[in-house]
Amino acid sequence: GAVVSQHPSRVICKSGTSVKIECRSLDFQATTMFWYRQFPKKSLMLMATSNEGSKATYEQGVEKDKFLINHASLTLSTLTVTSAHPEDSSFYICSARDGATRNDNFGPGTRLTVL
Amino acid sequence: QKEVEQNSGPLSVPEGAIASLNCTYSDRGSQSFFWYRQYSGKSPELIMSIYSNGDKEDGRFTAQLNKASQYVSLLIRDSQPSDSATYLCAVNTNAGKSTFGDGTTLTVKP
């Protein structure tokens, strides 16, 4: 149980394009989902907290207009990296909070490479 | 002071030994405590959660929580080379986001 999927797992795109990443909780409802970014050999960096049906809460220094988050249902949140640039290349990971267990369950991550 | 601090590591133990990972936190309102394992290039995987003072055992893993000392630890008994990974401590107040430590890298040598 408590499975979270992410799609795509890997994406390579040209500079200036937008990339959408989906995060789904497959067997539980997640009122809250979190989006993280992790650079090689660095710790997880929380980007934003996404609550179903409301606007996301972004961490300091994270541009709202560049990283668009939508949490339209209790099982799906999306992160869109708009006008991606090489410095946006990173490992993007979502987690979904299971209200019943209080556990945060991580998706497998999306590796983004911007050329 | 960081909100969640872990041993700077890296930690190296021989196969079969006990690995001890430590974590301290600053928010006394914290109610939920987690240990995650992260293999290189992969996302974190939850291995233990603990909510009340004392020990919680699950197979070779034991989590220990002391809220008065604001301290949570993870013991791995009979360490195996497959336990080699980065271990992340996370803390939250239930309603909010989890705060993660920077992680401790463990190497178990055969």
| Number of cross-chain residue pairs from A and B with Cβ atoms under 8 Å apart | 43
pLDDT digits (tens, 9 = 90+) for B17-29: 999 999 999 999 8
B-chain residues near A102 (CB < 8 A):
32, 49, 51, 94
> How sure is the predictor about B75, in pLDDT bands with cuts at 50, 70 and 90?
very high
pLDDT digits (tens, 9 = 90+) for A40-53: 888 899 999 998 88
Please state, in angstroms and rounded to a whole number, the distance separating the CA atoms of residues B42 and A110: 10
A8/chain B closest Cα distance in angstroms: 14
Whether A67 shows a pLDDT value over 80: the answer reads yes
- Cα nearest neighbour of A101 on chain B: B49
* Residue in A91, A105, A109 closest to B46 by CB: A105
